[in-house]
Amino acid sequence: MKKVFKYIGLGLGCILALAGGFCAYVAIVGVPAYDPPVIPEVTVEKTPARIARGEVIAQIQCMACHADNENRLTGKHLAEVPALFGTLYSKNITQDKEKGIGNWTDGELIYFLRTGVRRDGTYAPIMPQYPNMADEDMKSVVAWLRSDRFPVQPAGAEAPESELSLVSKLLTHTLMKPLSYSPKLVSLPDSTDEVALGRYTADAIGDCYSCHSGDMIDQSKTHPERSKGYYGGGIEMKDNEGKSVFTANLTFDDQTGIAKKYTKEQFIRVVKTGVRPDGSILRQPMFPRPMLSDQEVGAIYEFLKTVPKIKNDIAQKNAEVQLAEK
């Protein structure tokens, strides 16, 4: 009998030693790098229509994470990210040739936005990837990045390097990986199909599910609907005062979702202005999206009706954490 325990002890000891060794290895190598990719040869034509559309997508995506106080995309501290993941900064993506992306080709930008991998094979784990964004929208983003709009004009300021926690580094060796590049054409949704337009706006360009699902890690970028707790909310984030705020349950659950909380008109208003029907204001990191059209936001509402309902009482979670923070 004693012998058995000895072997179990030895086994456990080995597992611990291996895990310790793996952690030490990860702490030293950091985020893994990949083979430098084959970059697609694309040259994006910069039409006014594309620049205008690119600005809409930039306003609901890129600016929230890359804009400084003057609205230049020189990079900034991402205060909403829980400390568990480290201290994270985005980067300068202005046209500055040294500090920004002035020297990137159109193909390199598109490859990076789809996969998370730069031309030299390094991987950016925190930056979202956009595998389901339509090619036309992707080109619009690139056209806007190359345009003469103020936010992307060359600026030399730079945010500090991110300090990823051991947890984040471990994740990049296990669950968080770059996506593979698919040359397959991604087309725009049929704009007369409200649910399809809503799904596209929320999942492919709005990235709403990445905050409004049940877990920050257990998500699928290529198949968002496979994400854990898809649109059931409950991820704990930090507002601009450093206080905890849970992401809302956007499913149509009768009691805990938005079914009875918002009519379609009220939903359009809260998403575009950040003001709830009772006059209260949504807290950061949720920000208003006035640049989306009523048709697009209304379509998100119709799409959310089709998402499986999840019972998750966010009001109670917020109340509990507020009590604890007092």
Q: Contact positions toward ligand HEC, by CB under 6 A? A: 57-58, 61-62, 64-66, 88, 90-91, 93, 101, 112-113, 118, 124, 126-128, 141, 145, 162, 202, 206-208, 211-212, 237, 245, 247-248, 250, 258, 261, 267, 270-271, 276, 282-283, 285-286, 289, 300
- The neighbour count for residue 73, using CB atoms within 10 Å, is 28
Which C-beta is closer to ligand HEC: that of 128 or that of 308? Answer: 128
Tell me 122's DSSP state.
-
Cα–Cα distance for residue pair 206/215, rounded to 1 Å: 17
Which C-beta is closer to ligand HEC: that of 58 or that of 143? Answer: 58
Cα–Cα distance for residue pair 93/102, rounded to 1 Å: 8
CB of 305 to ligand HEC, least distance (A): 13
Burial label for 19, CB within 10 Å (0-12, 13-18, 19+), is exposed
CB of 233 to ligand HEC, least distance (A): 8
CB of 138 to ligand HEC, least distance (A): 9
The answer to whether the CB of 197 falls within 8 A of the CB of 146 is no
CB of 24 to ligand HEC, least distance (A): 22
SS3 state at 295? helix
CB of 144 to ligand HEC, least distance (A): 8
Which C-beta is closer to ligand HEC: that of 44 or that of 64? Answer: 64
Which C-beta is closer to ligand HEC: that of 23 or that of 283? Answer: 283
Cα–Cα distance for residue pair 159/75, rounded to 1 Å: 5
CB of 239 to ligand HEC, least distance (A): 8
Which C-beta is closer to ligand HEC: that of 8 or that of 141? Answer: 141
Cα–Cα distance for residue pair 298/16, rounded to 1 Å: 52
Q: Kindly report the three-state secondary structure assignment for every residue of 30-82.
A: CCCCCCCCCCCCCCCCCCHHHHHHHHHHHHHCHHHHHCCCCCCCCCCECCCCC
Which C-beta is closer to ligand HEC: that of 13 or that of 322? Answer: 322
